[in-house]
Structure 1
């Protein structure tokens, strides 16, 4: 595959709207996640484990936004090759570094889906009669465990392998125009054909996608169960007019909004961008539009927390 010398600033989708969208959301994320970290430090009623969990989520959201700004990712889907490409746009980096940023971008997407479930588990554990500090510590490190596990699976499943791979003609044309860049490959086929050497079934790619889906579905399940459990515990432990009840209701609503946000900006776009191609349903323009939503999750989330949770 022959390519020209990489441009200093690459644009594989033919428009700078994606890049501007990434930069603006990144600035907003930097400002409000920093404000949230400061606000959390002023709340004296939070336990150490809850405080650590909120700090870590804010820092991970900041890292998410940084990787988005550095990659400005674009989507290309090839029906013939049965592959989905997540390509790095923007300022050119060495390919290994670009692959690292893209891998972090996808890992942070998974983390954003897992984050609200972790915070719900924290609150549910605090309200439980058999609350355990050790369990709370375990819950606090879940986002980090999810990110690390995702990175390992992405490394083996999505980063182009060392052996020769078949790339779509459209991507080859773009690489010839813009020069080499980092990209991830998601194999979107469900069957293995040993006689077809052109379209190998990549087991680790499928495992990685399955892991992401499992995390998403478990997160939805945890949020649903914990939401009703928290309401039940508040009803049993506090009077209707108590200040504690109102405070917990406020927190419960804030947590619910923090789940709804990633559900709209990450869950639904992921299903459309990654899952639908498994069934032969895909559109590059539609995928690009939904990709815009990913970067707004870490930017809007801290704003919701700051607005909904009263700082004492």
Structure 2
């Protein structure tokens, strides 16, 4: 994912070949995460045929996972699961390939331009204005509702995994994603015992206590993200459950009851879906706000 205003240090470990699979010329590191490294690369084959947009994002596994015997399976699982999701607010993946010379598995995806929402948080210490925040909320919750209806859990909803560009937001990085049923449930995946990577500021309390990932816990993460954007900066992170905090300054009052339900510490009281939260974020009528307020009691 292209972030021209932010440079990343090279990842640790031996450097990759400059050319992968005789086709992809690595240009620079775009991001280093808990599981993988994403590079900006040129597709020389497409470039040879005159394709004006020959640049792609290319992902390989990180140094600590790459030596594992099933590393390529885990990377393919992320690729296959993401390919299954076809939505304008979800990153598009292209192909899974293996560089046989260097024995490096990787997959390619669209090169997005813009900034991640964690960068936006830093740029808006007094909160994101509602006219900017509203389309971000609707786009994110649209993507989250879609993947949940497909029987998929993202696994790591946080500002750093949402890109904001000229055409809206995109949800990306499905490295911790889980499929709840067929046809994707047979794909290999990382178990929580093997690799715990919850981002504490956006992890539902039950996850930190060992409960399995759920759609409800992802709604909590999205609600925390929206709360922080509306509040401004990162003032809420690490400050305890956001359900105990006051309504953020940039959020219309009619939206607060639904967001408060989504921020419930007790998952039994978090009786709201991503689709319902999206409806509340776009609602113009106070009757819906009162309905969610009743559910929060």
Question: Do both share a fold (TM > 0.5)?
Answer: no
Between Structure 1 and Structure 2, which shows a larger proportion of helix residues?
1
Indicate the structure (1 or 2) with the bigger Cα radius of gyration: 1
The two structures have a TM-score, normalised by structure 2, of 0.28
